[in-house]
Structure 1
């Protein structure tokens, strides 16, 4: 567990370091102080061996203590670990499912003939999905409404919705495996219900059955939450297209003389109206009258990623950096939709005079200004938010503003279509993989964790993979680390060996491709599947790997299992939600490095059993340099098995 000194030493972004120091000097509490106050952490909790699911406990299962082999109800280590894992997965599925639900319900409102501020900007996606799902040709709104009904069914049940999405997007060999294993889901809501049901007191006493529900719920997470959210947003707001010039990113994009609106959360529905409002001549004129040069929008977390992909809105802060960006004193409004807003933000916001504006009823702060999102009123709500930000700008103009200089550049606008178009087609990418110019495809996603030096794991791992010759994708909070480190810029190709560098220069790519929000991992599933199909291989045969270097949210569990179920092996940094084998010192050992490998049956499944059933496994490695070596060896083995050489 890192101390403050280690965090400051290893954090790769120099601007983050300056803001950490400013907060410390001002005596403002952040996650670093709160984390230190929680040490030492409970080892039972870290192992997933503490059960608090009923009122008989809590019970702590200790495999080394004969008196604590079982909980009061009789649950052993495997049952407790599997049950805790399933509940966390269900929470993550519910979170992404709620995001998807807001998007799909907005489409239904737009296509019901109501007077709405939204139009279907993604006609290309609507028509493509209509052909894919055999929806009758005709009126765009009618087609979109039928498609929204299918997506709604995948979230809530009905219309055979989730099976339709699975059958049209899942690789056939994986679909056959899932049918054989009996893990095809019904809908996101139904599998979350069942997950909670099976983990109540007196329900399921077989850890293997819980793991089966784990896999079923993970498929619901993918096809009943990720896909509806991503496809729905592409129907509403359009398919991302790459920008002709790189976008500036990092804290330095904020301006002392601009009205700075930081847009944060997960569902970009209202955020799209904010983009429109900020461009309006009326509001820009009012901002000028207030003494500002312009209204500047900046992004945080997954809403920020979505706005980067479609509009080139500069991303600034992930979940842990929000406290840092507020310390600049330059944020005139922090606009939250849903998720990823930690309670500690309010304390920092009060210290630096930042107004928190919440828009989702479930994501409130005690002293926020709440403007409940309404699809019909979204345009006027966006205008109201911009006006509030202008008023706050007037109040802070003469205050001490601390924006450390520093910007990096990033190539943005990536979706499935724009990515393959950059190569001139999926077959060309497959050719580069077979020739060894690209050694493999690796995705780095997930959250941040205070249990690791801030962003150090992400950046170190990505650089090592680029030096090896792997093309790296990134999504979610992890992408901010790589964007701010300049790894998504054209210049980062200089880190790559000859083959990958040649490909980047030829096709105008950076070695890191930011693909959007956490829900846009569905784009990665499509890319991995299509490249494998073009190469006439199974996804489990391909040189792919997914990495979550710093697991933080329950949503990260579903993310890792999504890739595992599609035959893509997963690296997980410590401490992660998915249990993995651990090394323990040998009793009466002669040398300090005499270790033995210990694991629960659940951990053994993810390390070994999953490979037999799914063709992929979970690797656990907390140190980024070693994690890079682990992933490189995995890619190397995959390439040798394909006859593609090391």
Structure 2
């Protein structure tokens, strides 16, 4: 029997968020939580049965025989319409992450050539590692010379018309062969996005199977292209994360300091604000306005970037942005791109908060705009901080001003640090993790990632699944708003292992000194999980491809097209993925079968949509145990560990299987 541990009211499991929401309800303030209850999703579009890509429509393909008989004005069938919608979502998600990566590449180039002076390369070791992957000779070159070559090489990945993306070679060799067999190796990031949009235009690709394979291809351009490139360049410029202590929740806002919330996804301006926020001149300026100092806090994935590198407190994920204004304590909320609710421009009218947009790509009605420019990076950061300080005396006292306690968090587990903590500086390795899985101390690994969605009680699926997973000796890794959920709930400290984890996982966590849930960073840093899975495979003993690992990936509260692209590139990479909702192609059983059965036959993994958290748990445990059985590992039994297994190569395993078959 699975114990139901979902907590909170119908809107959130976050206790601090609930207090602010209750205050907002008492004062007639509407938020995304309320709008989600009053504005129900269109059931036709929600299930993928609506086509609006030309002006002969929109065409709604509904009815008891819609799968076989319904068609749009042009004759497009329901499976074609559903598959086109799905591919377009993946293309949009890939475009978002990859445009982020492109900006990082130009920043690296400008920092390396001296065109900008406020940003410089911080992690030369990572730079040289990336140069090696890109097959760029490093000997005798300064870091700036090498940085220029790396940036230019990375930029070719966007416009490249033929060949393969540079990072495809980082995947396990068997996985690369699968991609080539089915023709889904990305050529260039921009080419795959443009082709996906062309193929989904009216009158082009009419084969649902072909469209769904294209979804894999464009998503791989995200995972092994935009996301992975962005993660590496951000590490090069601002430092590769290692564990830091901090705090999380809306309780990080301070009543007697200038509170500045940095929100969005691109870390460059946020890094500059971090750099200058402790300058004596600015701190003194804040004091001249009556404040005791400057309190910088993060929101959404920008929060994860500056949390994992600097220990800047996190005010939470996507659904906390309106609530940050409702505290009455935010002098400014500084935004760039992605996951910015237009609603914050409306909410600010009731408070003193200034909403400041900083990217020409993401302007907003009712917000002020200060265009970020890398050539004046720190000056713009100082301008924003001064504006926030000027706003401090304007606090009206309206808002839920009493600051709740924040939860402690340990974040910053890059894949480099995870290897280091298992083997040290010179023998970094995934051998201990593999051994612990083989011996049954750790049952498997689960990635709990993705967005929040107000149609699900905020954080409830995350909290429930995480608690159950670690209780069942499953190590959890997390990014994005999922990581923010765990940080707010206090799950990301080593002490959590002692309190909640199963005996095997607890033993491993105590021995290494880590939490049972590892904070790996922002949404683009899901690429770190790809790298970890590849390194686990290459370490030996757990198969010879990602699809062999006792692992599961889950986006339980997703809402963004970016999340869908992430899920699909993980499936294409061999990972079993579960999304916690109804399927966006639910209207078409044919397309459902393609993403579940055909994908599994071709790439060894599938994408499931399961609306109930308890059902997700059951399916996840079964999937992990099935992988253990296929590898002939010791059957998982809580607290009963087998002797350490002798490492066997896949060749040894095949011989053993043949001998067993003969008997």
Quickly name the TM-score band, shorter chain normalised: over 0.9
CA contact (8 A) 1:251 1:403 kept: no
**Aligned counterpart for 1:148 among listed residues 151, 167, 174:** 151
Alignment of 1:375-394 (within 5 A): 375-394=374-393
Aligned to 2:659: none
Secondary structure at the residue paired with 2:518? strand
CA contact (8 A) 2:351 2:398 kept: no
Alignment of 1:55-134 (within 5 A): 55-62=55-62, 64-65=64-65, 69-134=70-135
Alignment of 1:587-598 (within 5 A): none
Secondary structure at the residue paired with 1:71? coil
Using the TM superposition, give the Cα deviation of residue 317 of structure 1 relative to its aligned residue in structure 2, in angstroms. Answer: 2.3
Counterpart Cα distance in 2 of 1:574 and 1:398: 40
Counterpart Cα distance in 1 of 2:527 and 2:223: 7
Counterpart Cα distance in 1 of 2:567 and 2:24: 34
Counterpart Cα distance in 2 of 1:45 and 1:400: 37
Counterpart Cα distance in 2 of 1:423 and 1:10: 40
Alignment of 1:227-626 (within 5 A): 227-243=228-244, 246-396=245-395, 402-424=401-423, 425-493=429-497, 494-536=499-541, 537=543, 538-577=545-584, 579=585, 600-626=589-615
Counterpart Cα distance in 2 of 1:7 and 1:400: 22
Q: Which moved more, 1:149-158 or 1:612-621?
A: 149-158
CA contact (8 A) 2:299 2:314 kept: yes
Secondary structure at the residue paired with 1:317? coil
CA offsets, 1:542-601, max 9 Å, x none? 101100101201111111011101111001111344x46x9xxxxxxxxxxxxxxxx622
CA contact (8 A) 2:262 2:302 kept: yes
Secondary structure at the residue paired with 1:314? coil
Aligned to 1:31: 32
Aligned to 1:47: 47
Counterpart Cα distance in 1 of 2:368 and 2:43: 40
Aligned to 2:213: 212
Counterpart Cα distance in 2 of 1:256 and 1:327: 13
Using the TM superposition, give the Cα deviation of residue 9 of structure 1 relative to its aligned residue in structure 2, in angstroms. Answer: 4.7
CA contact (8 A) 1:150 1:159 kept: no
Using the TM superposition, give the Cα deviation of residue 400 of structure 1 relative to its aligned residue in structure 2, in angstroms. Answer: 5.5
Counterpart Cα distance in 2 of 1:115 and 1:419: 33
CA offsets, 1:340-371, max 9 Å, x none? 11111111122122100111012111121211
| TM-score normalised over the length of structure 2 | 0.90
CA contact (8 A) 2:509 2:515 kept: yes
Using the TM superposition, give the Cα deviation of residue 202 of structure 1 relative to its aligned residue in structure 2, in angstroms. Answer: 1.1
Pick closer, same or farther for the CA change 1:68–1:394 going to 2, 3 Å: farther
Pick closer, same or farther for the CA change 1:397–1:280 going to 2, 3 Å: farther
Using the TM superposition, give the Cα deviation of residue 440 of structure 1 relative to its aligned residue in structure 2, in angstroms. Answer: 0.8
Q: Which moved more, 1:127-136 or 1:406-415?
A: 127-136
Secondary structure at the residue paired with 1:111? helix
CA contact (8 A) 1:464 1:625 kept: no
Give ranges in structure 1 of 5+ residues lacking alignment. 1-5, 583-598
CA contact (8 A) 2:199 2:205 kept: yes
Counterpart Cα distance in 2 of 1:348 and 1:400: 11
Pick closer, same or farther for the CA change 1:48–1:398 going to 2, 3 Å: closer
Alignment of 1:8-27 (within 5 A): 8-9=9-10, 11-27=12-28
CA offsets, 1:113-142, max 9 Å, x none? 324211101211111112232312212111
CA contact (8 A) 1:263 1:304 kept: yes
Counterpart Cα distance in 2 of 1:99 and 1:346: 23
Aligned to 2:167: 165
Using the TM superposition, give the Cα deviation of residue 211 of structure 1 relative to its aligned residue in structure 2, in angstroms. Answer: 1.5
Secondary structure at the residue paired with 1:114? coil
Pick closer, same or farther for the CA change 1:519–1:118 going to 2, 3 Å: same
CA contact (8 A) 1:550 1:576 kept: no
Using the TM superposition, give the Cα deviation of residue 472 of structure 1 relative to its aligned residue in structure 2, in angstroms. Answer: 0.5
Secondary structure at the residue paired with 2:520? strand
Q: Which moved more, 1:132-141 or 1:119-128?
A: 132-141
Counterpart Cα distance in 2 of 1:364 and 1:109: 25
Counterpart Cα distance in 2 of 1:156 and 1:338: 22
Secondary structure at the residue paired with 1:347? helix
Give ranges in structure 2 of 5+ residues lacking alignment. 1-6, 424-428, 637-663
CA contact (8 A) 1:565 1:614 kept: yes
Counterpart Cα distance in 2 of 1:436 and 1:317: 34
CA offsets, 1:38-78, max 9 Å, x none? 23x32211211111111111111125146961111111111
Using the TM superposition, give the Cα deviation of residue 398 of structure 1 relative to its aligned residue in structure 2, in angstroms. Answer: 5.6
Using the TM superposition, give the Cα deviation of residue 96 of structure 1 relative to its aligned residue in structure 2, in angstroms. Answer: 0.8
Q: Does 1:184 align with 2:185?
A: yes
CA contact (8 A) 2:301 2:480 kept: yes
CA contact (8 A) 1:116 1:376 kept: yes
Aligned to 2:644: none
Using the TM superposition, give the Cα deviation of residue 643 of structure 1 relative to its aligned residue in structure 2, in angstroms. Answer: 1.5
CA offsets, 1:169-192, max 9 Å, x none? 111111000000011112221111
Pick closer, same or farther for the CA change 1:634–1:19 going to 2, 3 Å: same
CA contact (8 A) 2:90 2:564 kept: yes
Pick closer, same or farther for the CA change 1:426–1:529 going to 2, 3 Å: same
Secondary structure at the residue paired with 1:33? helix
Pick closer, same or farther for the CA change 1:353–1:531 going to 2, 3 Å: same
Secondary structure at the residue paired with 2:375? coil
Counterpart Cα distance in 1 of 2:556 and 2:610: 9
CA offsets, 1:488-542, max 9 Å, x none? 1222212111000111111111111111111001100000110111025221111
